[in-house]
Structure 1
Amino acid sequence: MSVLRSMPRAVLSVSIAASLALPALASAQATTTGSDVVRLDQVSVIGSRTQQRTVLESPVPVDVLSGEEIRSSGYTDISTILQSLLPSYNFPHPTTPDGNTHIRSATLRGLSPDQTLILVNGKRRHTSAWVNTGGTVGKGAVSTDLNTIPVAAIARIEVLRDGASAQYGSDAIAGVINIVLREDDGFEGSASHGSTKDGGGDTTKVSLGTGFAFPEGGGIHLSWDYRKREAADRAQADTRQQYFGIGTNGKPVALSGNYGSGTGLNPIGGAATGAVADPREASIDRKSLWRFADSADTEDKTFFANLRKPLSWAEGLEWYAFGGYTDSQGSSNASFRRAGQVENVRAIYPNGFLPWVDTRSTDRSFGTGLKGLAGNWHWDLSTVYGRNSLEYRTRNTLNATLGAASPTAFYNGALKASQWTTNLDANNSFDVGWHAPLRLAVGAEYRRDSYGIRPGEEASYIWGPARVLDGPSAGAVPTIGSQGFAGIQPGDAGNYSRHNVSAYAEAETDLTDRLLVSLAGRWEDYSDFGSTANGKLALRYELVDGLAFRASASTGFHAPALAQQYFSSTSSRTLNNVTTGLPEYVLVRTAPVDSVEARALGARALKPEKATNLTAGFTWGVGGLSASLDVYRIDIDDRIFLSSNFVDSAGSSAIRDYLAKLGSPGVTSVRYFSNAADTRTTGVDASARYLWELGEAGKLTATLGYNRNKTELTRVSSTPAELLALGVKTPLFDVTERTRVEKGQPRDNLTLALGWDVGRWSLHLGTHRYGRIEQIAATNQSAANIAEFAKGSTHFRTLPTEAGTVGNYDVIQRLEAKWITDADVSFRISDHISLTLGADNVFNTYPTRSIETTARVSGADTFGVFPYSELSPFGWSGAYYYGRLQVKF
């Protein structure tokens, strides 16, 4: 646990603090194998720009995870590793296609993914091009993809769990994660493979790393990772009717969407019609129609380099550079289109089809700088550039408005984002006659952000001339665009940019032997929404030797991302019909806040989120024990969310007609980004580690971590008058969105771990308790339907529906707390070779099953096909067994 920074050698400012810590932290780093054991109280550079501190000496909560601790995990990506080690870190496993394939949303202290700032070597890391528009945790956020950094390249990860906008700028409301790259010499390689107990999920990973020292000091470290992962399919059989029924007159009868309607649980077309099932209903393989997995099929290739070289031109002068390249390709599926749906062209897919969305995320970054001495000032001048692009293609699909002539594969467009950040930082200490010198850090920053949307090929979005060719709906307008992911239209495309400048300062001193005080301030000015100023006060008081009280108070902000301001898309999605409560396929328009459609429906220009953070706690270090306990409260005003999906009330087509007039034909739902709510998050973090020296029996390390977290909406914006005038009943931020924000992440998390190192053997056993979660299982349900749900074994509560029929209910299901246990054993065959065998989720634990569909009611399991919730923090693949061979020289 350490403060997040790795910059210049004397801790300059935001940027310098990080470069400072690189060499010092590398020497302080502990390992989890062999003779060394990770200690809780390690050196860290984040949290202060004026000097490095150990975790227990820091006035703010910091975690430090060593590279060996990270690489010893059986998990293969950084975000999952962090989740297994840090109780305040959450990483859900959605199955939704789109950018979720590569850039899944991770959160700190229950806040939004874009409220945690990511640094590499103490320098700001660029965000991804993807904005989360799916129904998952982090909806509406623009995340930074941690998994573009190879695990093999990491010396340590520092996690600051405290507001730090006054020190590091936008996004640091929940905290900061600093990834410090390796500088060590030698060669290291590893290869691992694993699979799940219940089939699928096969993952192969190969990592190589090598470092070289330069003759006159400094060196370079190169790292390469390759990972190929297959999804573990946990879909259930789709028992719905797949083909048209056959009426008594021989004519086709429309599909039923009810569970069991294709297997005899419901009469085809209703009991009165006398219709019979198509004979193909009896022979179709219903289990293979869908795929439901907590990860996509992915193949990732990542390269990173880190270089440091002293220069002889001046005393203390040093050049450094770092950067990398990642190519990630993935395939995920959308919803199955049944043979008889109007979205299908039966001349192409007589048995229906499952659309696939293939994505390619490409990430590039490069940073370089000089640092040195000017008198007594340590200075650091750096510039960092990063770029991410996300390209979409669909296959096994069609555009139904092109009829039988439709292609079955499309290029659907691309998103791109870049960031260029330049910092000048300096620090010094002054003897002002106080108990200790006054340490001062100052700095300035210039940043330029850009964002672009590129359209797909015409066939992927065009409204063609064809209509439904056959069946009961012949002649109707089918869904427009390529199924699964409609192509980005030229009207949605564009290129946008902005810049900002900032100045910041931090002062720190020890007023007495026991009292440390730190004060920081930052001013920023953005070209698109103006300026903001933030401050922070932190202190630490040592009550007795080894026991200290610490506290901080700060203000913070998150600037609206360019993607949140300008993202524009029209795509097909599955939404619950407000009248029937059943899922249906619709075209959803995500309109930019400054577009004609959004403004006409009540959208307003986005403002920055503003936060107030309060943290207080204790640290204790004595003998082999080190521990910390912190409580916190984070108030955030004007949080940016993606609004509800606005659809017409029953019997009305006001929105649909209105959007058609504005140039969006066929769109049945619209949404936009909004400063929709204020929130208050309160919680407690606790951590402890104890080391027993057992002589010839080796060393035993016990670790405990706990987080309890609660987020409440303290204000929710009312539905704009423009929507009310169209008869829209849906609130701006509806019960589904509110429940996800307040209840969609574990209420508490507990981690317990034991590590025993003896001779050539290392054994590790860890267990993680994920607290309960709540999700919207169904909306607008009648009392009779509620009675059907009550027959199941899952817990739920109801609220009067807010957008459906008076007297009906919205159903909120509880997902119970679960324990996930991991174990591994390593044997060092020689000083250079080791073998590890392990299992993640040893007891093959699965999440609480979603409220199950019955013959009468569609529950949260999507027609009975998806048994588990996308909010599950540990996925639903079950036990994973693996082996790993590691070589070091």
Structure 2
Amino acid sequence: MKLIIIGLLAGGSPIAAAVAQDAAPPAGIGRAGANNEIVVTGTRTGERTVTTSPVPIDVLRGDDLRASGYQETSEVLRQLAPSFSFANPTTPDGNTHIHSASLRGLSPDETLVLVNGKRLHGAAWVNTGGTIGKGSTPTDLNQIPAAGIGRIEILRDGASAQYGSDAIAGVINILLRTDTTLHASASAGTTYDGGGDTYEFSLGGGLKLGDDGFVNVTGYYRDHQAANRAQPDTRQFYFGISPSGTPQPLSARYGAGIGLNPPGGTAGSGLDPREATVDCNVWRFADQGDIKDGSMLVNLSKPLGDVELYGFGGYRLSKADSNASFRRPGQDENVRAIYPNGFLPFVDTDSTDYTGALGLRGDLAGWKWDLSSVYGGNRIEYRTRDTLNATLGVSSPTRFYNGRYGNSQWTTDLTLSNRVEAGLAAPIDIAVGAEYRRDGYRIGAGEFASYQYGPARVLDGPNAGAIPTIGSQGFAGIQPSDVVNVHRDAIGAFAEAGLEPVRGWTVDLAGRYEHYSDFGDTWNGQASTRLALPAGFALRGSVGTGFHAPSLAQQYFSSTSSRTIVNNTTGFPEFVLVRTAPVGSPVAQALGAQALKPETSTNFGGGLTYAGGRLTASVDYYHIDIDDRIMLSSNYVDALGSRRLRDYLAAIGIPGVTSVRYFTNAVDTRTQGVDVTAAYATPLGGWGDLKLSAAYNYNQTRLRRIAATPTQITALGITTPLFDVVERTRVERGQPRDKVGSVHRTDPDIR
């Protein structure tokens, strides 16, 4: 029996205790053992270990994952992988469920995620907010709980020539548990200042299927409560009162509600007496909101004569809430008959992930073959509560169904591999294969009341009769004009060869062709090599090309929100539209949008490795140029006092639109960096094993080119660039430039 106890870590990590009966002793000690394990990522052409691979690979074993003290896979990787990072934004949308994680500071959708070597579906959510990964469609790593993982292999190199789209920064391959051991864990944590309570539970085990087969099942549940760090809101809540007794508009200055600043309205206006007694603790600034999620994983294998049947499946349901800004009682967005003291809208989201895979593999005439099919998808539904649609007046509901997004992916692939004698130091390992993939994307509308432009106007106060904000506050419903249901097909073929011309020098070559039904063809290639040196040292390096296909969400995402502005000619408020428009829509085309092209990359890198007994170390440099990166454009709006954009769109049959943005191939970037890793492990006699590791990552991204603002925009007198300084800063400064970490672990053996 091995007992692993994890203490409280800085930053509010959970206190965890786990007891598990190991089926067998570890293959080695810590990373020293991991470095001698066979890896399956980065090659289909033979057996390689971490130390003999020509490209950098990190192996995180299952016991390392569980010893981290975390059960969320993304958090585990952030702690243990030097070039992995993600943010915890607080925006009221899919960010609550899906962390925009990245390798080497690149976009989240420029890293390919595999499960048991098979492509995992991406999220239905598109990051359109002001957070890291804006414009991307990431893959949710947390749909695979750490408790169900046997190990994770992280390929820190471009691999599109082997795996296809998205593998620009690298590949994360999650290998599920294959043991039949009963395992359970529970953890609880909180933050030092209170709040953020988190409770996690996992339970799993397996059965043998005959002599060589198995089935492993793991369940996981998490309950996370928001850590609220909001301070009292000291702005003016209620209408001011003028000397003549007429209601006055609110002041937005902090302190205006408690007498530190003058209230709004005419000189001499006083505060409503209720300001002295109202509860000002009305906000919630939280880490992630309240989240409850549960997931189930199944992994199985069963030999059937000379053929092996294998499969895996997973299901996850995550329920979360997040909040928008507090609406003060006197704001026009409020109906004071419903919320006399204001309201804090909540956005409730349900995210469902599902995946299933089934395959056969075996040997035929000296060739190893593997045929599999994987189907998976994600659905996110939005609801709002404690809110209203002010244009419906006193009849407004306070709960709404706001719509949904869906994404699906079906992949079928066949791989053949063999070893061929060619008179070299070792046989040539070759692999060929083909793949078919069908992608789907859907947007569903919300209920009518969630986006309805109702007949009611501001009922009272200094702005009585004005048009209030339209739709449910916090998250307006998805409109029928934004509904889509689209699909595309992709086929691909690849070939790989691994050879050893002379003893100690290995060379890997790979090439891949893919055809997409929406944008055409891509060709990619890669070459990598490793040269063994005396005394345990080795040189390694690679060069290759890659690509990221524009996702269906990036091509077809559509959002329409409504607001009111004052007409400069009439002086009256009027109803207008704000659009995030698909690139193929008439409004985007009229403003210079073009069909999205795939991002293309050229990468090269090299490094020095050392493996000597208990110590392993590596230093690797990388250089990644990406052309035509897909980003959200700036918001194009008329200059102050101008109507040229509105009038231009109205003249071509698109009335009422005052703000537009769309996806575009906006920039070329260059990313450079260095990864340094070291690990040392030693036995402690009867006291178990001591494992020490440290890692450092330096990463820098710079823009090489910014696409020009379309002439259709500049002709309207709009000077906003296609990609403004805020977005440039997000790309160049949004990710950590330096990251250093270390792990000390002792596994006391009490068998």
Shorter-normalised TM range: over 0.9
The reply on whether 1:301 has 2:291 as its aligned counterpart is no
1:384 corresponds to: 374
The reply on whether 1:64 has 2:54 as its aligned counterpart is no
3-state SS of the aligned residue for 1:746?
A: coil
Give per-residue Cα distances to partners, 1:147-189, cap 9 Å, x unaligned.
Answer: 1112221000110010000000000000000000111012111
Q: Which runs of 5+ in 1 are unaligned?
A: 1-25, 575-584, 761-830, 832-889
The reply on whether 1:100 has 2:95 as its aligned counterpart is yes
Within 5 A, what are the aligned runs for 1:784-799?
none
1:544 corresponds to: 534
2:273 is aligned, of 279, 285, 303, to: 279
Contact 1:467 1:477 in 2 (8 A): yes
2:447 corresponds to: 457
The reply on whether 1:516 has 2:510 as its aligned counterpart is no
Greater shift, 632-641 or 67-76, is seen at 67-76
Within 5 A, what are the aligned runs for 1:471-620?
471-571=461-561, 588-620=578-610
CA–CA distance in 2 between the matches of 1:409 and 1:656?
33
The reply on whether 1:260 has 2:255 as its aligned counterpart is yes
Give per-residue Cα distances to partners, 1:3-49, cap 9 Å, x unaligned.
Answer: xxxxxxxxxxxxxxxxxxxxxxx99965889xx98644533110111
1:626 corresponds to: 616
Distance 1:330 1:554, change over 3 A: same
Within 5 A, what are the aligned runs for 1:198-237?
198-237=193-232
Contact 1:29 1:42 in 2 (8 A): no
1:754 corresponds to: 744
3-state SS of the aligned residue for 1:484?
A: coil
2:365 corresponds to: 375
The reply on whether 1:685 has 2:675 as its aligned counterpart is yes
Distance 1:32 1:601, change over 3 A: farther
Contact 1:479 1:587 in 2 (8 A): no
Give per-residue Cα distances to partners, 1:115-160, cap 9 Å, x unaligned.
Answer: 0000000000011111111110001100111111122210001100
3-state SS of the aligned residue for 1:371?
A: strand
| Offset at residue 292 of structure 1 (A) | 1.0
1:767 corresponds to: none
3-state SS of the aligned residue for 1:263?
A: coil
2:629 corresponds to: 639
CA–CA distance in 2 between the matches of 1:633 and 1:639?
16
Contact 2:328 2:341 in 1 (8 A): yes
1:353 corresponds to: 343
3-state SS of the aligned residue for 2:436?
A: strand
1:716 is aligned, of 677, 694, 706, to: 706
CA–CA distance in 2 between the matches of 1:481 and 1:418?
29
Instruction: Tell me the C-alpha RMSD between the 2 structures.
Output: 2.2
Give per-residue Cα distances to partners, 1:854-873, cap 9 Å, x unaligned.
Answer: xxxxxxxxxxxxxxxxxxxx
Greater shift, 168-177 or 244-253, is seen at 244-253
Distance 1:239 1:42, change over 3 A: farther
Equivalent position amino acid for 1:137 in 2: I
CA–CA distance in 1 between the matches of 2:670 and 2:439?
29
Contact 1:699 1:758 in 2 (8 A): yes
CA–CA distance in 2 between the matches of 1:47 and 1:106?
20
Give per-residue Cα distances to partners, 1:461-492, cap 9 Å, x unaligned.
Answer: 11111222222222222211111111011110
Distance 1:189 1:368, change over 3 A: same
| Alignment TM-score, normalising by the size of structure 2 | 0.92
1:244 corresponds to: 239
Contact 1:41 1:626 in 2 (8 A): no
CA–CA distance in 1 between the matches of 2:390 and 2:699?
47
Distance 1:655 1:464, change over 3 A: farther
CA–CA distance in 2 between the matches of 1:722 and 1:170?
32
3-state SS of the aligned residue for 2:628?
A: strand
Within 5 A, what are the aligned runs for 1:637-676?
637-656=627-646, 668-676=658-666
2:165 corresponds to: 170
Distance 1:90 1:362, change over 3 A: same
CA–CA distance in 1 between the matches of 2:403 and 2:748?
55
- Aligned-residue sequence identity (percent) comes to 60
CA–CA distance in 2 between the matches of 1:92 and 1:712?
20
Contact 1:39 1:689 in 2 (8 A): no
| Offset at residue 297 of structure 1 (A) | 0.8
1:49 is aligned, of 31, 44, 49, to: 44
Contact 1:41 1:56 in 2 (8 A): yes
Distance 1:340 1:660, change over 3 A: farther
Within 5 A, what are the aligned runs for 1:67-82?
67-82=62-77
Equivalent position amino acid for 1:125 in 2: L
CA–CA distance in 1 between the matches of 2:24 and 2:109?
32
CA–CA distance in 1 between the matches of 2:360 and 2:686?
48
CA–CA distance in 2 between the matches of 1:598 and 1:510?
53
Contact 2:579 2:661 in 1 (8 A): yes
Contact 2:34 2:61 in 1 (8 A): no
| Alignment TM-score, normalising by the size of structure 1 | 0.78
CA–CA distance in 2 between the matches of 1:677 and 1:29?
47
Greater shift, 455-464 or 187-196, is seen at 187-196
Distance 1:571 1:30, change over 3 A: farther
2:285 is aligned, of 289, 292, 309, to: 292
2:417 corresponds to: 427
3-state SS of the aligned residue for 1:511?
A: strand
1:869 corresponds to: none
CA–CA distance in 2 between the matches of 1:703 and 1:659?
60
CA–CA distance in 2 between the matches of 1:663 and 1:211?
63
Contact 2:29 2:683 in 1 (8 A): no
| Offset at residue 282 of structure 1 (A) | 2.2
Greater shift, 659-668 or 254-263, is seen at 659-668
CA–CA distance in 1 between the matches of 2:267 and 2:343?
28
CA–CA distance in 2 between the matches of 1:349 and 1:340?
10
Distance 1:744 1:215, change over 3 A: same
Give per-residue Cα distances to partners, 1:411-436, cap 9 Å, x unaligned.
Answer: 00111110000001010011112222
| Offset at residue 749 of structure 1 (A) | 0.2
| Offset at residue 307 of structure 1 (A) | 0.8
| Offset at residue 623 of structure 1 (A) | 1.9
The reply on whether 1:324 has 2:314 as its aligned counterpart is yes
Contact 1:31 1:66 in 2 (8 A): no
Greater shift, 85-94 or 530-539, is seen at 85-94
2:684 is aligned, of 683, 689, 694, to: 694
Equivalent position amino acid for 1:85 in 2: L
Distance 1:296 1:217, change over 3 A: same
Equivalent position amino acid for 1:630 in 2: D
Distance 1:656 1:396, change over 3 A: farther
Equivalent position amino acid for 1:418 in 2: S
1:149 corresponds to: 144
1:849 corresponds to: none
The reply on whether 1:195 has 2:185 as its aligned counterpart is no
CA–CA distance in 2 between the matches of 1:482 and 1:453?
18
Contact 1:299 1:329 in 2 (8 A): yes
3-state SS of the aligned residue for 1:403?
A: helix
The reply on whether 1:395 has 2:385 as its aligned counterpart is yes
2:13 corresponds to: none
2:570 corresponds to: none
Equivalent position amino acid for 1:293 in 2: A
CA–CA distance in 2 between the matches of 1:326 and 1:256?
46
Q: Which runs of 5+ in 2 are unaligned?
A: 1-22, 565-574
